[in-house]
Amino acid sequence: MSSLENKTESKPVESLDSIKKKIENDAMEKVLKIRSDPIKQVNIEDTLFGIMNQGAAEFKEKTGRGMTYAEMREMYG
């Protein structure tokens, strides 16, 4: 029997801090766009939850785990 080789591409590994900073900056840009558009402010709670859920999904995709409460508070206040 031959052993199976692990054939994975080596990607540059982002640091946890840079991942969190990128997600935080992306969220802030989205919030600023919402604040400048009164139509989008009609359902602001759902919009903000959507932004946070997108950030949580990106965090999980990049780190392989869900963010902790402390990480969520650090990024979203």
Which residues does 16 contact at the CB level (< 8 Å), separation at least 6?
63
Region 17-33 average pLDDT: 94
DSSP 43: T
Flag whether pLDDT at 62 surpasses 70.
yes
Region 69-75 average pLDDT: 93
Region 27-50 average pLDDT: 84
Flag whether pLDDT at 27 surpasses 90.
yes
Region 56-67 average pLDDT: 96
Q: What is the pTM of this model?
A: 0.73
Distance CA 23, CA 76 (A): 9
Cβ atoms of residues 59 and 67 within 8 Å: yes
Cβ atoms of residues 56 and 67 within 8 Å: yes
